[in-house]
Amino acid sequence: MGIAYKTLPQEVEAGNVLLLDDGKVVLEVTNVEGNRINTVVTQGGALSDKKGINLRGGGLSANALTEKDKKDIFTAAKAKADYVALSFPVNGDDVRETKTLLKAAGCDAGVISKIERAEALIEETILDIIEESAGIMVARGDLGVEIGDPQLPAQQKRLIKLARSNDRIVITATQMLESMITNPIPTRAEVFDVANAVLDGTDAVMLSAETAAGDYPENAVKTMHDVCLETEKNPIAKVSHHRLHEHFKGIDETIAMSTMYAANHLGVKVIAALTETGKTAMWMSRMSSNISIYAMSDNVQTLRKVTLYRGVYPCGIEKSSANDWSQVNETVIETLINKEVVENGNLVVLTKGMYKDKSGGTNMMKILRVGDANY
């Protein structure tokens, strides 16, 4: 069997275990002769072209970015992508290289780092990757193959917690509703898997083959949607101790955290955040509340990006040239009424900045009651 990974014979030795196609086929290396790797099949199965190969325990030196990946970055730039997923990053340098290439292509897409390699789980390494990324994906297929499935649940919880505590997006993916590729309903275990990811604090759950090649794509999406909504009603999903004992980095973050505290203790119906970049909405979404957050902006790219933030809804609003803040407040309330998310008597917490068009300028919070004569 031929492989495209030319340096593999130099990276393995007798006793190593190679896993093909997410571990469906398992080979044990007996010896290496030049460019030939002799193995014994310890777990057989069907194998087709272009399937992945992993070394149990990690350690392969393959670059995160292939030459094709580098070309694809320019394609992403032309498509004005909001996010670019980076497969198999080993450390923060891989993310930094991707960001440099994106910038050179004239693209400011955020990098979602897919955590798939055992080496990436080292504490210092994963924190560096998270710091450099817009978010991470818990890519359970390749990661489980490298570290072993028994370790995967604890690592999923750890990665979600690390991402959220560092104000980053986190996506949970791989085989969440695998049986629905060929069946119209999920297994109970799959329902629990989706629900547990929600309770862990994930921002998003992802389908792959279920919708890309499955027989019941609509059923799969509806099933996942329904499970997520029902799980979020659980009191556990509404409790958060995010940054409870920490100092905040700036005025805008302080306003965001104060807003969530007020909303959780006052019976607020909706939170509205006037935002240029979506950062205020991001901070808010790190705290569990089950209160809808509307990120209001006239920046289309910001509105697209915030769709990955848990509990945040994009809301287009025209840029106001008025200096009368009561008029701005009224516009926000009218917009929410038109969306049928509030009614008379509901409380709304609004955050905004004194200076329009200034990133990081959020410095005000106001509590409004829908239907009041003056806002």
Each residue's pLDDT tens digit, 142-154:
999 999 999 999 9
- Express each pLDDT in 112-153 by its tens digit: 999 999 999 999 999 999 999 999 999 999 999 999 999 999
CATH number at 153 reads: 3.20.20.60
The mean pLDDT value for 51-68 works out to 87
Q: What is the mean pLDDT of the chain?
A: 92
SS3 content of the chain, % helix, strand, coil (to 5): 40, 20, 40
CB 273 within 8 A of CB 296: yes
Domain contains 76: yes
Domain contains 33: yes
Whether residue 285 sits in one domain with residue 327: yes
Where a domain ends, among 19, 34, 55? 55
Domain contains 244: no
pLDDT the model gives residue 50: 81
Whether residue 275 sits in one domain with residue 188: no
Distance CA(271)–CA(254), nearest Å, equals 15
Whether residue 265 sits in one domain with residue 137: no
CB 309 within 8 A of CB 285: yes
Distance CA(37)–CA(111), nearest Å, equals 35
pLDDT the model gives residue 256: 92
Where a domain ends, among 204, 238, 272? 238
Domain contains 308: yes
Residue 63 has pLDDT above 60, yes or no: yes
Domain contains 207: yes
Would you state the structure tokens that stand for residue 50, as one six-digit string? Answer: 């272009």
For 309-338, give the DSSP string: STTEEEEE-PPP----HHHHHHHHHHHHHH
Of residues 1, 43, 2, 7, the one with CA closest to residue 23: 43
- Express each pLDDT in 221-243 by its tens digit: 999 999 999 999 988 877 766 66
Would you state the structure tokens that stand for residue 30, as one six-digit string? Answer: 């007996």
CB 195 within 8 A of CB 227: yes
Q: Report angle CA 22, 23, 24 to the nearest 5 degrees.
A: 100
174-178, 196-200, 203-207, 253-257: which has the minimum mean pLDDT? 253-257
CATH number at 14 reads: 2.40.33.10
pLDDT the model gives residue 284: 94
Domain contains 356: yes
Whether residue 78 sits in one domain with residue 194: yes
- pLDDT above 70: percentage of residues in the chain: 95
Q: How far is CA 343 from CA 111, 148, 224, in A?
A: 39, 51, 29
The mean pLDDT value for 43-71 works out to 88
Contacts of 44 (CB under 8 A, 6+ apart): 25
Where a domain ends, among 203, 238, 273? 238
| Domain assignment of residue 12, given as a range | 8-55
Residue 252 has pLDDT above 80, yes or no: yes
pLDDT the model gives residue 360: 67
Spacing of C-alpha 293 from chain mean position: 17
What is the band of 48 on the pLDDT scale with cuts at 50, 70, 90? confident
pLDDT the model gives residue 264: 87
3-state DSSP call for residue 147? Answer: helix
Domain contains 355: yes
CATH number at 260 reads: 3.40.1380.20
Whether residue 33 sits in one domain with residue 96: no
Whether residue 330 sits in one domain with residue 194: no
Whether residue 152 sits in one domain with residue 85: yes
Contacts of 235 (CB under 8 A, 6+ apart): none
Residue 157 has pLDDT above 70, yes or no: yes
Whether residue 267 sits in one domain with residue 162: no
Whether residue 97 sits in one domain with residue 50: no
What is the band of 357 on the pLDDT scale with cuts at 50, 70, 90? low
pLDDT the model gives residue 243: 64
40-54, 307-321, 355-369: which has the minimum mean pLDDT? 355-369
Contacts of 297 (CB under 8 A, 6+ apart): 274, 275, 276, 278, 303, 314, 315, 316, 317
Residue 193 has pLDDT above 90, yes or no: yes
Residues forming a β-bridge with 84: 111
Whether residue 82 sits in one domain with residue 227: yes
The mean pLDDT value for 339-356 works out to 90
pLDDT the model gives residue 338: 95
Whether residue 139 sits in one domain with residue 85: yes
Whether residue 290 sits in one domain with residue 190: no
Number of structural domains the chain divides into: 3
Of residues 284, 288, 260, the one with CA closest to residue 199: 288
Domain contains 41: yes
> Exposed/middle/buried for 374, CB within 10 Å: 0-12, 13-18, 19+?
exposed
For 168-184, give the DSSP string: -EEEEESSTTGGGGT-S
